[in-house]
Amino acid sequence: MLILVGLPLFFMELAFGQFASLGPITVWRINPLFKGLGYAMVIVSWLISLYYNVIIAQVIFYLFSSFTDSLPWTTCHNHWNTNSCVPYDFNDTVTLSTTAMSYLAGAANLTFNLTATPGPETNEGLTTIQSVLDKGRTPAEEYYSEYVLKKSESIEEFGSLNWKLAGCLLLAWFIVGLALLKGVQSLGKVVYFTAIFPYVMLTVLLIRGLTLDGAGNGIVYYVKPDFKKLADPRVWSDAATQIFYSLSACSGGLIAMSSFNKFTNNCHRDAIIVAVLNCSTSIFAGFVIFSILGFMAFEKDVDVGDVAKGGPGLAFEVYPEALSRMVVAPMWAVFFFIMMATLGFGSQFSIVECVMSAILDEFPILSRTKTSAMAFRIGVVVVGFLLGLPMVCNGGIYLLELVDYSVGGFPLLIVGMVECIAINWIYGFSKFWEDIQMMIGEKKRIYWKICWTFVSPLVILVTIIVNAIFYKEPTYDGLPFPEWAKALGWLIVMFPVSSIVLWFAYYYCKKGGFRLLRMRAMPLPHWGPAMADDRKDRYSPDREPSMIGTLEYQLGDKIYRSHLDVHEVAKLLSASQTALNTPNGRMTPAGSVLTIGSRTSVIQAGSSRALNTTGLNSGRNSARNSARNSAQNSARNSVQNSANPTPAGSVWGSNTSF
C-alpha cells in the first residue's frame, strides 16, 4: 500500500503545497471548483486534533504517575480497584471449600494454595475459579478505566468532568499553543527534539526488551507471516486506511507544512526518504513492542497473542503492565511515557498548524499584524481545549472512540480519491508535472503518472467499496453504541465530506449551471508560484498582466476554452456580433462566457458592459485598468480589427475542448 497509494499521495501533496506556497484551502486556486476539498481537509485535521490531544493528556497523566517508588498499577489494594481485580502474583492453586469459593467469586484479589482430592465438588470448584479469572481484570486495566478515565458503563452515562485529566488536557494544549504561537518559526526549533528523541528512546527500550526472558517469542510472533489473512479483503482495506494515518495524507498537514519550503527544495527526494523512514520506524517500533510483549507472555505463561491488544489498550494497559514487571520499573515507565508524549506532540503540532495556517491564508485579515495573528492562534488553542473537555468526562472515552472511528475511515479515503481526480485529471498530469519540473527539474516518470491518474484512485475506490461492504459498527470494549450515537458517528463522517458537495453546489447556483462550472474548472489567474522570481514559463511576470481573461465558446457540438489578453478582450467586446478567428474555426462572441478574475459574464449582443473586473486580485491592477479602458473605448475601436486573424503567438492557441 505504501507503493500504490501512500508514497504517490505523499509526494503529490508535498509538491502541491510547495509549488503554490499556500495552505490546504487557498491552494485550490488551481481549481476553485474543488475548494471544498480544502475545507474537508481542515475539518478532518481539526477533529483529529481534538481527540489526539486527549490521548496526549492521558500520556501526561501516566507520566506524572510514574514518578514514584512503586507504580500505582501493580496491585489491587488501591481505592479505585474493584472485586474483579486479579493481581499479577495470583497463583494457579487454591484450597477449595464452599466458603472459599463464594469468597473468591466476590473478591478475586487473594492468593490461594490448592490441595484437592479429585471428585465432582473439586471439578465444580475449578470451573468456578476459571470463570472468575476469565472475567477478572489486571491492576493495569483497572488503573486505566477506574482511575485515569473514571469510565462510566456506557456513552449514555456521560457523567461529570474528570478534573485531573482535564488539567492534563489543559497542559497539553498549553504546550501546543506555546510551540505554535509564532507559527513555523517557533515550531522549527521544537521539531528537532520531537523528531530525534523518540528514536533514542525506542533504541534504549529495544535493547532493554531484547535482554528479557521470552523476548524472542515476541519477535517471532511479530515477524512470522500469516498468509491466510492475505486472502481477506478487509486486511488490505485496513492497510490502505492505515497508510493515510501513518503518512498524514489527505488531512492537509502535508500541504500546509510543504508550503513553507523553499520553492526549489527537492520535495521528490524528501517524499521518498520520509515515506520510507516512516514505515521503517513503524517496523522498528514493532520490534520494541513485541519484545516486551514476549516477556510479558513468558511471565504469565501464555501465548503472545493472548497479551497483545490494539488501540489504547496497548499503550495504557498492556505496556504499563509489562513495564511494571521490570527491574527499576518507574524509570522505564518514565522513559516510555516521555517517548509517547514526544511522539504525540510531534504529530499534534503539524495537525494544529495545518488548521491555523489554512485559515490565516484564506482570511488574511486575521494576520494583518503579529498581534492579531498571535491572538488568532491563542483562540484556536482555547477553542480546542474547550471542545476536548467532553472527552475527559466519565463517558468521554466512548465519544473519543466514536470520533476516531468515524474520521479515520471514509473521509480520508474520499478526500484522497477526489484530490487525485482534481489535480491529475481536471488540472492535468502534464501541467502538474511541468510545475514540478519548474521547481526541481525532475524528469517525468511513468510511475508517478500511472499511480496518480489510475492506480491510486482505483485502489482508494476499491478500499471505500470494501469498507462499505464489510462495514462494522463502532464498539468500545466489545460494547455496541446506541442508535443515536451511531447516527452521530455518521454525522461526523458526513461533516467533512459534505463540504466538498456543498461547495460544488454553491458554485453551481452562483455561476449559472454546468456550462459555467466547466469553465470554472480551471486555475484562477493568480494561480502559480508565490514569489515573482519563481514565476517562469507560463507563469512569467511578462505574460501575467496580459493574461486577464478566459473565454468559453461553442463551435458545433463542442465547447472550447481559451485564455485572452487585454487586447483580445477589447476586440471581443467591440465585436460581439462579428465572427472572430480562433484555432478551431470562426465564432461569434455573443452568448459566449467571459471570465476575468473571479467574475463571470455572458457576452451580450452589441454590448460592451459584460466585462466586470471587480473580482481581479490587486496584483493585476495594470491589466485591470487597461482592460477597463479598452472596454470603455470599445466603440471607438474599428470593428474590422476584431475580425482579423489572431496575431502570431497569441494565447488563443491555449485551448481545451470538451
Q: Look up the CATH number of the domain holding residue 189.
A: 1.20.1740
> Is residue 305 one of the residues assigned to a domain?
yes
Same domain, residue pair 417 and 556: no
Does the pLDDT of residue 515 top 60, yes or no? no
Residue 18 lies in a domain: yes
Q: Judge whether 113 lies within some domain.
A: no
Do 345 and 472 belong to one domain? yes
Phi, psi of 535 (to 5 degrees): -85, 100
507 belongs to a structural domain: no
How far is 289 from 283, CA to CA, in rounded Å? Answer: 10
Q: Is 551 annotated as a binding residue?
A: no
Q: Are residues 364 and 486 in the same domain?
A: yes
Q: How far apart are CA 107 and CA 415, in angstroms?
A: 52
- Could you read off the pLDDT of 233-290 as tens digits, one per residue? 888 888 888 888 888 888 999 999 999 899 999 999 999 999 999 899 989 989 988 9
pTM here? 0.77
3 and 276 Cβ atoms separated by less than 8 Å: no
Residue with cell 529495544: 206
E strand or H helix at 86: none
Looking at 449, 476, 500, which one is the last position of a domain?
A: 500
Q: Does residue 316 share a domain with residue 261?
A: yes
| Residues 309 and 432 reside in one and the same domain | yes
Query: Is 343 labeled as ligand-binding?
Result: yes
Residues 616 and 468 in one domain: no
pLDDT at 24: 93
Rama region for 484: left / alpha / beta (φ>0; ψ in -120 to 50; rest):
alpha
State whether 573 and 445 are in the same domain: no
Residue 510, pLDDT > 80, answer: no
Structural domain including 442 reads 2-68+147-500
Averaged confidence pLDDT in the chain = 77
Residue 204, pLDDT > 80, answer yes
Three-class SS state of 626: helix
Q: What is the pLDDT of residue 26?
A: 92
Closest CA to 285 of 305, 307, 315, 242: 315
Q: Tell me how long the chain is.
A: 658
Is 347 marked as binding a ligand?
yes
Name residue, grid cell 514526544. 342
Kindly state whether residue 417 falls inside one of the protein's structural domains.
Answer: yes
Domain-embedded: residue 76: no
- Note whether 442 and 568 are same-domain residues: no
| Same domain for 495 and 574 | no
Cell of 324: 511494571
Q: Is 280 one of the annotated binding-site residues?
A: no
- End-of-domain residue from the set 443, 473, 500: 500
pLDDT digits (tens, 9 = 90+) for 278-301: 899 989 989 988 998 898 888 878
Residue 108 lies inside a defined structural domain of this protein: no
Query: Cα separation of 348 and 45, whole Å?
Result: 10
String of DSSP letters for 469-504: HT----EETTEEPPHHHHHHHHHHHHHHHHHHHHHH
Residues 474 and 547 placed together within one structural domain of the fold: no
Averaged pLDDT, 442-457: 90
Q: Hey, what's the cell of 593?
A: 462566457
pLDDT 10s digits, 427-445: 889 899 999 999 988 777 8
Task: State the pLDDT at residue 231.
Answer: 81
Do 323 and 469 sit in the same domain of this protein?
A: yes
Of 395-404, 413-422, 505-514, the poorest mean pLDDT is in 505-514
Does residue 386 sit in helix, strand or coil?
A: helix
Last residue of a domain, one of 449, 468, 500: 500
Q: Retrieve residue 348's grid coordinates.
A: 499534534
Q: Is the residue at 100 inside a domain?
A: no
Q: Where are the beta strands (DSSP E) in 359-492?
A: 475-476, 479-480
Structural domain count, the chain: 2
Q: Do 309 and 173 belong together in one domain? A: yes
Cα(285)–Cα(277) distance, integer angstroms = 12
